[in-house]
Chain A
Amino acid sequence: MASPLQQFEIKTIASAHVGGVNISFTNSSLFMLIAITAITAFLVIGVRKRAMVPGRLQSLAELSYEFIAGLVRDNVGHAGRAYFPFIFTLFMFILFCNTIGLIPYTFTVTSHIIVTFALAAVVFIGVTIIGIARHRMKWFSYFFPPGAPLYMAPLLVPIEVLSYLARPVTLSLRLFANMMAGHTMLKVFAGFVIALGLFGVAPLVILIALYMLELIVAVLQAFVFTILTCLYLHDALHLH
């Protein structure tokens, strides 16, 4: 019987090496491509009709746009409009990668720490550069919250710096651990269903409930990644 961790194996589909670096096309790359194709098809075909009273698909496409637009407007403010395409792309990519991974026999792109870390690193480095570019040297005043007494600085500033540096770690780890733990649990319970034979109905009911939970977690984690990105961007743009 296969191990529950076998679903996370990277399988090479088309091998390619450039100067010692392995840039093969793997199942991970394939599902990233599938996610992007699905997002593009959803959005392009969704708004093709341009009806005044939207049908179902157009309604969904407009809903996703409005949801993220509202998120950016509420959490970043007026100055954040320029960053809306990035945040929208981030949200849709993570959402589709998470949910496509729930289909049986597929591969969850975001269940690998390197993928989520790449996303979190882009957000962290981008937000830091935006903050420094906008505020120059005043950006470092972010680590000394306004209204705090000066003698607290030697204690407060290192803690603030540490928690700032922990951001890419927690951001990536949250998404990765949720995806990996959830999918591993699904596989473990599925194994119980097969192993128990006739009495496998009990783990099957739990499996159905778990699958529902995983669907909620998939959407929720995409939302949380995005709203935290918006909040970090707000901190960088407004320094508090």
Chain B
Amino acid sequence: MSVEAAKLIGAGLAVIGLAGVGVGIGNVFSAFITSVARNPAAQATVFPFTMLGFALVEAIALFALLIAFLILFG
């Protein structure tokens, strides 16, 4: 197998991790919506943590993307 083909396959495999990220982001916002639905007064308190949680999970997505790019172009 040529190096080029292996690189392409490797990059494709690397982005499989984004499935977990999708689940994670869904979890974060599902918890936010549920908590605000139960207690609307908590929205202002909970919102910053929601944004923090979203950004932290998104960071994992970008790490996976970075590995894919490193494999593809490194």
The interface size bin for chain B is 10 to 19
Question: Which B residues lie within 8 Å of A181 (CB)?
Answer: 62, 65
Of all chain A residues, which has the CB nearest B55? A224
* Cβ < 8 Å to B, chain A residues 151-191: 170, 173-174, 177-178, 181
0/1 string, B34-58, CB within 8 A of A gives 1: 0000000000000010011011101
Complex: A164 Cα to B70 Cα, angstroms:
24
Q: What is the CA–CA distance of A170 and B63 in the complex, to the nearest angstrom?
A: 9
B52: chain A residues within 8 A (beta carbon): 223-224, 227-228
Interchain CA distance A174-B64 in the complex, whole Å: 11
Number of interface residues of A (CB under 8 A): 12
Q: Name the distance in Å between A215's Cβ and chain B's nearest Cβ.
A: 14
Q: Please tell me if B6 contacts chain A, counting CB pairs below 8 Å.
A: no
Residues A174 and B65 in contact, CB atoms below 8 Å apart: no
User: Does B55 lie within 8 Å of A177, measured CB to CB?
Assistant: no
Contact A170 B59 (CB under 8 A): yes
Q: How far is the CA of A181 from the CA of B51 in the complex (A)?
A: 19
Give 1 or 0 for each of A38-77: 1 = CB within 8 Å of chain B CB: 0000000000000000000000000000000000000000
Tell yes or no: A220 within 8 A of B by CB.
yes
CB distance from B46 to the nearest CB of A (A): 13
| A177: contacting residue among B48, B51, B56, B63, CB under 8 A | B63
CA distance A102 to B62 in the complex (A): 20
Contact B55 A173 (CB under 8 A): no
Contact flag A173-B63 (CB < 8 Å), given A178-B58, A224-B56: yes
A-B contacts besides A170-B59, A174-B62, A220-B55, 4 pairs, CB < 8 Å: A173-B66, A177-B65, A220-B51, A223-B55
